[in-house]
A = this chain, B = another copy of it.
Amino acid sequence: MAEARPIRVALLGAGSVGSQVARLMHEHAEELAERVGSPLELAGVLVRDVNAKRDSDIPAELLTTEADALIHSSDIVVELMGGIETAKEYLLTALRTGADVVTANKALLSEAGNELFDVAERVGAQLYFEAAVAAAIPIVRPLQESFAGDRLQRVLGIVNGSTNFILDQMDRFGTSLESAMAEARELGFLEADPTLDIEGYDAAQKAALLASLAFHTLVTPEDVYREGITGVTSELIADAKSNGYVVKLLAIADRIEEDGQERVSARVHPALIPADHPLAAVHGGNNAVFVHAEFSGDLMFYGAGAGGVPTAAAVLGDLVTAARRRVLGGPGLVSTWDQRLDILNIAEIETKYLVRIEVTDAPGVLASIARILSDKGISVATLNQSASANPSRATIIIGTHRAQEASMRAAVTELTNSDSVFEVTSVTRVEA
């Protein structure tokens, strides 16, 4: 074992994840060597400014700003620098030299995954990215390997810890959106500019990756219908609760087969899920990915979806897999999504809805609402009318059976224009 040629590893980036990977590689060197069959040798750590990292735990002689030299002298390149253009350039260089690549960069993968896979396939190198979707939660590998004898039909993910923390605070402690956001910011869950999280962009990138992996087809973040959580009110949270639901920001990917044609739907939006559904028990900043497969049935993978150490653990897992394959040979993972299945427009999807309507409290109002819904082919499953704060109005909460989004949107327009209706306060999709 001692004479085995070491596997040289380049680390691109020495931020919160990169520095943890360097630390774990050092502290667990012996164990890792045993699992791989060869020692892992840190060839160098690419940083923007060597002096700025002088005080880190990484030995100074390993710090470098020479990307090309580092990449060309490495067997495996681990990209943890983030960003797209430069990272892509480095990884293409790495793959072309025959190096295997490990990355946690979801933005890069959802933008340029196919290009990277193509090059990797051509040169026989491998691209690993377990940490890109949900940090330490093993979801990429099961999607690539465990369902080899199965067909995935649906993926529902809570893939953004910040927004889950916020919605969970609102649900469990009756906090307003504003205070929950303030608390999230204080705890470091939110960046100074929280747009990527709050508006669902981060979740949409992960939804694109999950859909691509699950259905072996290219889905880009632009294909993903996206709504953030800024429209989630305390009122909606309360309505959800009294109807047996909780509100979660879900990344949803569906494979839809109609008339022998296969299409994919991918979307991110706040959704209601039954309070006894396993996803409802995902509290705080945690993530979970719920999968429905034809034979395996319902499965869920749960854990911390972010954080330097859990992400580093996932990167290290990939690193061991890549290194073992270099030492022992064998099949790589199947990671191309070279199909291009059609993507459903949001208007085409079908789901259930919970609708809150403020109406004038007059005779005939209920009949008029029921008629508008039924005219659009929307069937009512539950209806609850209660007094409103304003004595001349009433609140109606309607739960529908499955209906098409286009029909629901048409119904909402008609409801809004109706004399009986003061306001359609909220329309929320019900999933799972």
A282 at the interface (CB under 8 A from B): yes
Once the chains bind, are B307 and A137 in contact (CB under 8 Å)?
no
Q: How far is the CA of A145 from the CA of B282 in the complex (A)?
A: 25
Q: Given A276-B283, A328-B330, A330-B330, check contact A149 B295 (CB 8 Å).
A: no
Once the chains bind, are B278 and A295 in contact (CB under 8 Å)?
no
Once the chains bind, are B283 and A317 in contact (CB under 8 Å)?
no
Q: In chain A, residues 246-293, which have Cβ atoms closer than 8 Å to a Cβ of chain B?
A: 276-278, 280-283, 286, 288, 293
Once the chains bind, are B296 and A310 in contact (CB under 8 Å)?
yes
Once the chains bind, are B296 and A136 in contact (CB under 8 Å)?
yes
Once the chains bind, are B307 and A297 in contact (CB under 8 Å)?
yes
Look across to chain B and name the residue whose beta carbon is closest to the beta carbon of A319. B149
A47 at the interface (CB under 8 A from B): no
A301 at the interface (CB under 8 A from B): yes
A424 at the interface (CB under 8 A from B): no
Once the chains bind, are B320 and A149 in contact (CB under 8 Å)?
yes
A299 at the interface (CB under 8 A from B): yes
Residues of B with C-beta under 8 A to A299: 136-138, 301-304
Once the chains bind, are A303 and B300 in contact (CB under 8 Å)?
yes
Once the chains bind, are B277 and A317 in contact (CB under 8 Å)?
no
Residues of B with C-beta under 8 A to A150: 313, 316-317
Residues of B with C-beta under 8 A to A307: 297
Residues of B with C-beta under 8 A to A138: 138, 142, 146, 299
Once the chains bind, are B293 and A297 in contact (CB under 8 Å)?
no
Residues of B with C-beta under 8 A to A130: 146
Residues of B with C-beta under 8 A to A28: 149
Q: In chain A, residues 335-392, which have Cβ atoms closer than 8 Å to a Cβ of chain B?
A: none
Q: How far is the CA of A295 from the CA of B142 in the complex (A)?
A: 20
Look across to chain B and name the residue whose beta carbon is closest to the beta carbon of A280. B281
Once the chains bind, are A282 and B278 in contact (CB under 8 Å)?
yes
Residues of B with C-beta under 8 A to A310: 295-297
Residues of B with C-beta under 8 A to A225: none
Q: How far is the CA of A324 from the CA of B145 in the complex (A)?
A: 11
A410 at the interface (CB under 8 A from B): no
Residues of B with C-beta under 8 A to A321: 145, 148
A12 at the interface (CB under 8 A from B): no
Q: Given A24-B295, A35-B334, check contact A317 B146 (CB 8 Å).
A: yes
Could you say which of B278, B283, B300, B313 contacts A296, with CB atoms under 8 Å apart?
B313
Once the chains bind, are A149 and B277 in contact (CB under 8 Å)?
no
Residues in A lying within 8 Å of B, measured CB to CB: 24, 28, 32, 35, 37, 130, 136-138, 141-142, 145-150, 172, 276-278, 280-283, 286, 288, 293, 295-304, 307, 309-310, 312-317, 319-321, 324-325, 327-331, 334
